[in-house]
């Protein structure tokens, strides 16, 4: 029903704007850009059609409506950040193909310890670390069966009906979902909104946000957010003690099944580590290697995977592995950047900014809180990348209109797009954990509401403090 209503509503809005006279202060191309943006935003929010198909609409609408020619409309689909993500996807595929991600996760849990609170923190550390580099969806899919094994084994050793065990089970599963989101925020490739924001700022404001620059905000956020999430889950929302036991055997048995680390795992780990290292030291390496950037590093690592042999015939990656890449995400990137480019070039940004500049007397910090909170709760019902693609150009316009550095608004909004904790539809990790049928929507919503409110304050205060230090606003 939501999709049908969204389809009809989007078309109606589009037609109403198209056939209405445009304001004198805005060109016809700018007015048609607003119509196209409205249509795409409604389609993205309601998922009336697949979000990646919505992202292809500029290739049809822009040339026909005179917003941009096909060459200009298609260029952002090959933005360097699209290839940065492609390289990251291929690296992630190699990590998953040779089961390196499972070994990393289990090893982290073993290091942390085996009492209930330590188990939860171990799963949080493993999930968040993996989500820095590979898909949050893939991480949640990998961690869920391991968590269910631990829950099942402990359930056999204790009272299944005890409140203590129920709280442990729910907290462990939610810990995986929430940690995937927190880890993804920490790096530029950890979650799509981060990379989209970096591409947008580079293209429209001339600010390059590299891997190391984002981590100067992302890692402090991670260091603060993960312990807060752990404390909220285990002490406030679903309080547990350390009375349960029996998990050590499960973890050790899973590790035993993996056997010794294979040659393929070692080779993938080496490439993965080198890519991560060069991402971090890239500003220093740029003085010695002209032209190097994060995309070049990612693609070099991806290409090497197709050169380096595997012991079990073939190479670490084969051509067929490309079929498992999330091409729809790459298309969504392109569509969002194309829309953002049209909003900027046809004067829509300046027009919106002028309107807000004339009417707004709200304190800046209150505006940031309202904007960030709106994004957090909107993302509960929509794709985080679709939300980012639809609203970052508008947020940019607001900041420019108020003569405020756009990153003051855009950075907290970008982080907020990945802080949806209440509903199964909010993020893929939430949906995956909910599919275990061990958590009700009421339980997830109760925990998520607390998280949303707390993370709203963490996001705004942290970015307001660090943003000025890192980016000079």
Q: Does some domain include residue 398? A: no
How many domains does the structure of the chain reveal?
1
* 177 part of a folded domain: yes
**Of the candidate ranges 101-115, 211-225, 399-413, the one whose mean pLDDT is the lowest:** 101-115
DSSP letter for each residue of 53-75 = HHTTTHHHHHHHHTSS-HHHHHG
pTM, two decimals, is: 0.67
Q: What's the pLDDT score for residue 354?
A: 65
In a domain, 455, yes or no: no
Question: CB under 8 Å, gap of 24 or more: what pairs does 56-59 form?
Answer: 56/331, 56/335, 57/335, 58/335, 58/338, 58/339, 58/342, 59/338
Within a domain: 232:
yes
The lowest-confidence range among 216-225, 262-271, 293-302, 393-402 is: 393-402
* Cα dihedral: 122, 90, 57, 341 (round 10): 80
Residue located via tokens 């929507």 = 441
Residue 290 CB partners (closer than 8 Å, separation 6+)? none
Report the phi/psi class of residue 259: left, alpha or beta, with left for phi > 0 and alpha for psi in -120 to 50. Answer: left
In 3D space, the residue among 53, 52, 54, 18 whose CA is nearest the CA of residue 33 turns out to be 18
Q: Strand locations in 348-411, DSSP E?
A: none
Contact 132, 246 (CB under 8 A): no
Query: Using a CB cutoff of 8 Å and minimum separation of 24, what contacts does 443-446 make?
Result: 443/170, 444/174, 446/237
Label residue 243 by pLDDT band (50, 70, 90).
low
Question: Domain for residue 333, yes or no?
Answer: no
Task: Give a yes or no: residue 191 inside a domain.
Answer: yes
Structural domain boundaries, residue 264: 80-198+207-324
pLDDT of residue 11: 94
Question: What pLDDT score does 399 carry?
Answer: 81
User: H or E stretch including 450?
Assistant: helix 441-471
440 within some domain: no
Query: Distance of CA 196 to CAs 2, 338, 387, 420, Å?
Result: 27, 11, 11, 18
**pLDDT tens track for 10-53:** 999 999 999 998 888 888 998 999 999 889 888 877 778 887 89
Residue 359 lies in a domain: no
* Owner of token pair 């729910």: 170
Q: What percent of the chain has pLDDT over 70?
A: 89
Q: pLDDT band for position 465 (50/70/90)?
A: confident
Better-scored residue on pLDDT, 161 or 103? 103
User: pLDDT category, 441, cuts 50, 70, 90?
Assistant: confident
Cα 367–Cα 352–Cα 393 angle in degrees, nearest 5: 75
Taking the C-alpha atoms of residue 134 and residue 138, their distance in angstroms, rounded to an integer, is 7
CB 331 within 8 A of CB 389: no
CB 316 within 8 A of CB 270: no
The angle subtended at Cα 427 by Cα 423 and Cα 431, nearest 5°, is 65
Q: For residues 81-106, give the mean pLDDT.
A: 79
139-178 pLDDT per residue, tens = 777 777 777 777 776 666 555 567 777 888 899 999 999 9
- The structure tokens 């740029």 sit at 286
Identify the pLDDT of residue 303.
93
Residue 309 has pLDDT above 80, yes or no: yes
Q: How confident is the model at residue 108 (pLDDT cuts 50, 70, 90)?
A: low
Residue 309 has what DSSP assignment? B
């Amino acid at each position: 029903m939501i999709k049908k209503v969204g389809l009809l509503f989007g078309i109606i809005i589009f037609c109403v704007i198209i056939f209405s006279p445009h304001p004198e202060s805005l060109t016809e191309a700018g007015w048609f850009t607003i119509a196209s943006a409205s249509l795409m935003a409604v389609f993205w929010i309601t998922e009336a059609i697949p979000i990646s198909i919505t992202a292809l609409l500029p290739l049809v609408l822009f040339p026909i409506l005179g917003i941009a020619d096909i060459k200009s409309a298609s260029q952002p689909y090959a933005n360097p950040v699209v290839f940065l993500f492609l390289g990251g996807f291929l690296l992630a595929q190699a990590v998953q193909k040779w089961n390196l991600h499972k070994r990393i996760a289990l090893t982290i849990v073993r290091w942390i310890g085996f009492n209930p609170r330590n188990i939860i923190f171990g799963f949080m550390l493993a999930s968040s670390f993996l989500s820095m580099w590979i898909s949050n969806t893939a991480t949640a899919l990998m961690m869920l069966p391991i968590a269910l094994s631990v829950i099942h084994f402990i359930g056999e050793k204790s009272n299944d009906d005890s409140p203590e065990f129920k709280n442990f089970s729910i907290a462990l599963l939610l810990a995986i979902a929430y940690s995937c989101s927190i880890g993804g925020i920490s790096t530029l490739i950890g979650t799509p909104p981060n990379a989209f924001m970096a591409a947008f700022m580079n293209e429209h404001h001339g600010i390059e946000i590299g891997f190391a620059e984002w981590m100067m905000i992302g890692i402090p956020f991670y260091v603060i957010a993960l312990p807060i999430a752990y404390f909220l889950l285990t002490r406030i929302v679903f309080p547990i003690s350390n009375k349960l036991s029996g998990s050590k055997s499960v973890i050790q048995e899973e590790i035993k099944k993996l056997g010794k680390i294979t040659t393929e795992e070692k080779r993938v780990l080496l490439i993965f580590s080198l890519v991560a290292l060069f991402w971090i030291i890239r500003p220093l390496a740029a003085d010695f290697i002209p032209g190097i950037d994060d995309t070049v590093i990612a693609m070099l690592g991806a290409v090497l995977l197709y050169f380096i042999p595997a012991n079990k015939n073939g190479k670490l990656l084969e051509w067929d592995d490309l079929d498992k890449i999330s091409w729809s995400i790459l298309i969504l990137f392109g569509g969002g950047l194309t829309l953002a480019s049209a909003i900027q070039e046809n004067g829509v940004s300046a027009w919106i900014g002028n309107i807000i500049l004339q009417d707004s007397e709200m304190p800046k910090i209150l505006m940031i809180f309202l904007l960030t909170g709106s994004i957090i709760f909107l993302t509960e019902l929509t794709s985080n990348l679709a939300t980012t693609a639809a609203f970052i150009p508008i947020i940019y316009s607001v900041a420019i209109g108020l003569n405020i550095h756009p990153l003051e608004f855009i950075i907290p909004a970008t982080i907020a797009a990945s802080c949806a904790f209440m509903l199964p539809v909010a993020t893929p990790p939430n949906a995956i954990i909910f599919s275990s049928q061990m958590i009700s929507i009421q339980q997830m919503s109760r925990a998520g509401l607390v998280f949303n409110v707390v993370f709203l304050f963490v996001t705004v205060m942290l970015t307001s403090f660090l943003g000025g230090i890192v980016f000079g606003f």
